[in-house]
Amino acid sequence: STYPGYAKYRDFYSHNYARLLWWLESGEDVYHPSPRRSDFHSEVLFSTVEARLAARLVALEVLNLWEENPESEAL
């Protein structure tokens, strides 16, 4: 792994806190690696995108259910 310390922190802390701890320890930001390290790992961003997509899918499902049964009090 390119950022072993970050992976260690990510298992126990929130994404942003793990990023901060890794930056304090190593001086490198996982979002903006130093010029000597050009490999950018998209998995760092994927969890955020995945959470947004999941929330959007749930919202669409609720809207679709509401359109089918507008008198339902459960929704």
Model pLDDT for residues 5-50, shown as the tens digit of each residue: 677 787 888 888 888 888 888 877 777 666 555 555 555 555 666 7
Tell me: do 27 and 46 sit in the same domain.
Answer: no
The boundaries of the domain holding residue 71 are: 42-75
Tell me: do 34 and 48 sit in the same domain.
Answer: no
This model's pTM is above 0.85: no
| pLDDT in the model for residue 2 | 65
- Plot region of 28 (φ>0 → left; ψ -120 to 50 → alpha; else → beta): beta
| pLDDT in the model for residue 75 | 46
Which value, to the nearest 10 degrees, does the dihedral of the CA atoms of residues 67, 68, 73, 75 take? -60
Tell me: do 16 and 46 sit in the same domain.
Answer: no
Tell me: do 12 and 28 sit in the same domain.
Answer: yes
